[in-house]
Structure formats: structure tokens, C-alpha cells
Amino acid sequence: MDKHCHQKYLNFDKERIAELRREMERHNQLYYQDAAPEISDQKYDALYRELLDLEKRYPSEISPDSPTLKIGGKPLGEFQQVQHVVPMQSLSNTYSEKEVLEFFNRLQKLLPTKLLSFTLEPKVDGVAITLLYEKGRLVRGATRGDGTTGDDVTQNILTIRSIPRVLRGLHPEVAEIRGEVFLPRDAFAILNTKREEKGELPFANPRNAAAGSLKQLDAQVVATRGLDVIFYGFGAWKGEPRFQTHMEFLVFLKAAGLPTPPRIWETGESPNEILSAIHELEAVRHNFPFETDGAVIKANILEHREMVGSTAKAPRWAIAFKYEPERAETILHKITIQVGRTGVITPVAELEPVLVSGSTVSRATLHNEEEIIRKDIREGDRIIVEKAGEVIPAVVGVRKDLRTDQQQPFHMPQKCPSCHQNLHRVVGQVAIRCINPQCPAQIQRRLEHFASRGAMDIDGLGEAMIAQLLESGLVKKIPDIYVLKKEDLLQLERVGEKSAGNLLSAIHKSKIQPLWRLIFALGILNIGTSSARVLAQKYGSIMALAKATAEELQETEDVGAIVASSIREFFSDAESIRLLEELEKQGVQLTDAAIPQKIDDSLAGTWVLTGTLSIPREEAANWIRLRGGHVTNNISKKTSYLLAGQEAGSKLEKAQHFGVKILDEEQFQKMIDPSK
């Protein structure tokens, strides 16, 4: 190729790289900030792969804000220290409503001629961060540190997909945007389960988990954690736009594509309005995806903030009201042992039922033997329980002052309570495991996971039914469920003709579930439903996934070194291959190629499903896809149809607002089969 021709292609590729980055950033904003995606995940992935290939071809063209760098590069040796342009102060805290009133009176005294107004927002219990944007482009992310100097965690910040690399609309020349990185409650529960299965210490609460995640030197590990962020303030600010109030600033944040608090209260000059808002927030705070331990009250008018200033440690114009953690006392009757599907032994506190944070708690995890020893927890103790991170019941204290000589120290068993084989402790880990692959408790948990709604979705094959099947000897391993006959089921207690027929029908239907469900159902360590979908889409079959190398796997979106290692470990095990062979022999589809091809385009358009349907939602979605439609989760102006079942909620209201065509299930069935 001559020099002129080579330069022509180089210029074309450079233009295409810039075009792809702009297009992907636009789609990221539509998906994460507007909840109004315009293209399918497959089309987005195609753009991603094209950009990745071009950047590999031209490494000198790789930009720090490229969408392909969201999972960072090689692990860091250590974090670099960076100085904040404007120091990050902390807030003064109080647990007293009286002190909130004193805060109000102090401001009124400092500003006697001013009409005060305030905002109140949930205090996100996470890790404070600051992002530095220059000319609207993200150049750095850092932790608070000592308030003056923090750790440069840019590589980890880039893994949080809700953070835009480029601000939308009018933006200042320089802006330090302050916020809080948090781990959503659902992600926290999943992360702790995975850590316990691997023999690692669980995190005490979502805040510790978020902090531990941001401190990871390998951004690929951070990317698996599912961190999110809320922004609420600023430090350095140079250029337009300018604001008069905090509420105006929050409007700017949202318009720029930055996540903001889900609810804000704006109060007037009456201190009673502030107290009322505090009580309202307390009533709804458990509904937020993040843990919140209080309310942040701020002067709304920015000029007032400048006039009152700050102390050496905290602003005078803001205060954090902290809610008392909700705890309850009860009796710990017994410590039982639970065996997980990976063999990890977990001690569980069996409690006298007690109401905590709106729900009745009768069991609480004790995590491991070291936790019991450290807190000196004994059977018969009167203990203090709270929801750790408002999610998981935990024993946080023991009333030793009420202890008698009846309570004796607890000792972990030497043998598995299920199969009675010797237990083993892995060197360097706190977990104790049963390593017997035929352990009934492990088989029970693996079967429960395989049949669960998020996996193969076998309706009727729950904990009680699986226990009966194992006890009767009808099932000894996962593939055995596919050879069950009606006469086998009728031998079991409380199983009649109808329930037996329904269960067999559900088992039969599970043979043709989408591939991602099977990948998740196999119980591969560190594989959730999201990564299972990505892997199914990329590889198309179990066997192709089984042959993938660790290097190939890490080229997959959301798959880092740890996840790739887990996949390779699973498929390197002869038992895993035998399991897949038996499943295939029983007719379970190991590939998505077996899914029927599109029938026609009669349901073409973008669909959203909401409410309770008489058929499984995934089945309705498959019918839509077979007839040319595309299914998404969010309503937008571009949505063509909303299929509304019983108890349809906010999506129905949004559809009405946007003028989306709304169908009930009867109308939907007629579209599928006009003869009905």
C-alpha cells in the first residue's frame, strides 16, 4: 500500500474512532441517565467491539475518556496522592432535633435580615469522592482523604457506568463535583454471599464494601462490584453556568448527566418544616437503593453560604442529622450450622422472633467461627440485633451483664452436620468447608439454585419439594430431575395428580430456557445474571464458553481476571463436564441456536412489560422477539407498546404521559393469535 493510500485509511479510521466515541457516549447517557435507550444491547456491543478493534490497531489514539477503558488497564502498584483544588470538609453531625433547631437559630442570628430557605436530602452512607472536569471532560477522580489530599482513584471511578466522561450541555471550564460512591443493597448481599462461599470475611456493611472496592488496585475487580454514585455538591468552579440556589445546582447536575439524590425536600423559614422533612425522610429511607443513616440539611441560597463561611473542619451552613440505628434485644436460642452449595459452613443464630427495621427477624448470620469468638456469642445469651446495612440481620452485641453460668462458649463442629465427613479449613482463609461433593446439604443448595426463578425457573421445585426428592432417593444430582415420572412424584407427601403434572410440565419447559439462565444455574462462582447474559450473547453455547481461554474471556464486557478464573476452574473440573453431558442427554439445550427463529414482524417495535401476567414474563418477551419486537425495561418517548398486567405501577403512568399504546393481556394474545 502506498504512503498516500495508507494516510487516507489512517485519517478515515481516526474519524471513525472519534465518531464511535461520540455515539457510545450518547448511548451511555440515554441508557444510564435518561432511561431511554435507542438501540439494543447487541448493537451497542457491536459499536464497542468496533471501537476496541480500532484502538488496538492504533494504540496512540487511545484516549483516557474512551468508553473502552471503563474497566481500566493493568493493576496499579499503589495510589497516587492528589491535592483537591478546594478542600473537602466534613459535616457536623447531630442525633438531636434540639441541635437542629440550634443550627437554624445560629444561621438566623448570623443573617438577621435574610429570609432563609433550606434543602434536605438523604445522607448516602458511602465513600466521599470528588471528580475534576476540565472543559466538560472528566480528568480525575479522587477520595476525600484528609480533606486536602486524597487518593487518585480515576481508574476505579471509570468502572462506574453512571458517571459520564463528558458533561452534557453548557458546562464550566473547571468543576470539582462532589458526591458519594456507594454499593447498592442488592449488590452488597450478593457480594457478601460470594465472599463467604470463597472463604473470605464478609463486609460488615455496604459502606465498608464500597470503601474496600475503591481501594482495590485492580480496576477489573472494582468493575465486578456494581458500585454506583450520587452527586450533591461542588468545590472549585470556573466559568458559566452560575447558580443562586442549591436546587438550581442540582438541576444542572441532572441535565449534565450526573446522578442526583432521588428525593429532595425544600423548606422555608420555619424550623418546624425542617423537622417535618426529617421525619418524612425517615419514613421512606428504606426504599432507596443505598443505605442512608441520616439527613443532610443545607442552606439553599448560595450567597448565604458564602456569608456565613466555614470553621476549620466544617461548613456553618450545613449539618447532618443522624438517625439512631434501629436495634432490638432478643434471645439467641441456638446456633445452628448451614452448609452452602460450595461447602462453606456458616453458623446461624436462631432467635426469638423480633421486629427490626420493619420486618420480623428470627435468624441472623454469625458469618464464621472467628466472629463468634471475637464477640463471645453463646447460646442462651440475650443479644442485640440490627439490620447490617438495613439488609442483613446481624448480631451486633451481647448483654453480658445479663449472662448467667448457663451460657457456655460455642465450638464449631469437627464434622459436617449433613454428611458427617470431616470439615477442612483452607490455609489463609477463615472459612471452614465440607469438601464431600456428595454432601446432601450441598446437593440441596445446588438444586435450589438451579431451579430458582432467576435461573432455570422451575415452578414447584422449591426447597420443600427438593428435600422430599432427596430424602426419597428419587434425585441425587441435578440431571435426575429430568428423569422424574408422574408415578415417582405421586409417592411423595402432599403431591396429587395436578401438582405432579404441573411440576413435570415446568421441568420440561426448563429444557429450552435461554442459554444465560443455564449459565447462571450452573452455579459458577462470581457469575451473576448480568454476566451470564453477556457470556451467552458472546459465545452462543456452553461448549464454546467451556473452550474459551482466560485471555479470551477477559476481552468480554464485565469479565475480569477473577471471573475468568472462576469460569476456567469450573470447566476444568471433570464433574462439571459430566454434569453438562448428562443434561444434554436429557434434552436440556446447551445452545441458544435451538431457540426458534423469528416468525414475522407483526409485533415490531419497542415493548415494555409491567405488572403481573398470567404467563411468565420471559415467555411473553420471547413471543415479542419471535415476532420482530424488541423488549426493554424503561418507558420513553420511543416506546411503541406497554403490555400491562395486574397491578401495573409507575410504568403505566409514564406510558400514558408519553402517549404509548397500552395493551392488556387479552389484546396481546389477540395480536399473537388473531383467531382468539
DSSP label of 90: P
| pLDDT for the residue numbered 67 | 66
| pLDDT for the residue numbered 594 | 44
Question: Strands, DSSP E only, in 34-126?
Answer: 81-83, 93-94, 118-124
- C-alpha–C-alpha distance, residues 254 and 261, integer Å: 10
Lowest mean pLDDT among 15-19, 111-115, 247-251, 382-386: 15-19
- pLDDT over threshold 50, residue 66: yes
CATH architecture of 3-69: Orthogonal Bundle (1.10)
- pLDDT over threshold 70, residue 5: no
| pLDDT for the residue numbered 79 | 80
What is the average pLDDT across 514-531? Answer: 86
Choose between 64 and 499: higher pLDDT.
499
What the block records as the C-alpha cell of 127 is 465513600
Lowest mean pLDDT among 300-309, 382-391, 468-477: 382-391
Lowest mean pLDDT among 194-203, 229-238, 358-367, 570-579: 194-203
The number of CA neighbours under 13 Å toward the Cβ of 354 is: 24
What is the average pLDDT across 142-149? Answer: 86
- pLDDT over threshold 70, residue 435: yes
What the block records as the C-alpha cell of 622 is 420471547
The whole-chain average pLDDT of the chain stands at 84
- C-alpha–C-alpha distance, residues 307 and 309, integer Å: 6
Q: Give the range with max mean pLDDT: 178-182, 211-215, 467-471.
A: 178-182
- pLDDT over threshold 60, residue 356: yes
- C-alpha–C-alpha distance, residues 270 and 83, integer Å: 39
533 vs 71, 421, 424, 586, CA distance in Å? 18, 37, 34, 23
Q: What is the dihedral of CA 554, 559, 565, 567, to 10 degrees?
A: -110
Hey, do 440-510 and 515-594 end up sharing a CATH topology, with the first three levels equal? yes
| pLDDT for the residue numbered 651 | 80
Choose between 71 and 311: higher pLDDT.
311
Q: Give the range with max mean pLDDT: 221-230, 298-307, 335-344.
A: 298-307
| pLDDT for the residue numbered 32 | 45
- pLDDT over threshold 60, residue 179: yes
User: Which residue shows C-alpha cell 418507558?
Assistant: 635
| pLDDT for the residue numbered 229 | 95
Residue 123 falls in the annotated catalytic set: yes
| pLDDT for the residue numbered 485 | 92
- C-alpha–C-alpha distance, residues 441 and 434, integer Å: 10
Contact yes or no for 283/138 (Cβ under 8 A):
no
- pLDDT over threshold 60, residue 597: no
Residue from 70, 123, 194, 387 carrying the catalytic annotation: 123
CATH of domain 93-322: 3.30.470.30
Which CATH topology does 605-672 take?
Rossmann fold (3.40.50)
What is the average pLDDT across 653-658? Answer: 82
| pLDDT for the residue numbered 62 | 67
| pLDDT for the residue numbered 173 | 94
Q: Which of 137, 119, 140 is nearest to 129 (CA)?
A: 140
Domain 515-594 part of CATH 1.10.150.20: yes
- pLDDT over threshold 50, residue 131: yes
Choose between 318 and 224: higher pLDDT.
318
Which CATH topology does 440-510 take?
DNA polymerase; domain 1 (1.10.150)
- pLDDT over threshold 90, residue 104: yes
- pLDDT over threshold 60, residue 137: yes
| pLDDT for the residue numbered 199 | 61
What is the average pLDDT across 350-365? Answer: 80
- pLDDT over threshold 80, residue 650: no
Q: Give the range with max mean pLDDT: 49-58, 433-442, 574-583.
A: 574-583
Each residue's pLDDT tens digit, 548-582: 998 888 877 667 778 888 899 999 989 899 999 99
Q: How far is CA 81 from the centre of its chain?
A: 29
- pLDDT over threshold 60, residue 360: yes
Which residue ranges make up each domain of the chain?
Answer: 3-69, 93-322, 327-408, 440-510, 515-594, 605-672
Q: What are phi and psi of 574, to 5 degrees?
A: -60, -35
Lowest mean pLDDT among 7-11, 146-150, 395-399, 605-609: 7-11
Question: How would you list the strands of the sheet with 605-610, edge to edge?
Answer: 629-632, 605-610, 641-644, 661-663
| pLDDT for the residue numbered 584 | 92
Q: What are phi and psi of 264, to 5 degrees?
A: -130, 135
- pTM confidence score: 0.52
| pLDDT for the residue numbered 35 | 44
Which are the contacts of 15, defined by CB distance < 8 A and separation ≥ 6? Answer: none
User: Would you place residue 10 in the very low, low, confident or very high pLDDT band (cuts 50, 70, 90)?
Assistant: low
- pLDDT over threshold 70, residue 65: no
CATH of domain 327-408: 2.40.50.140
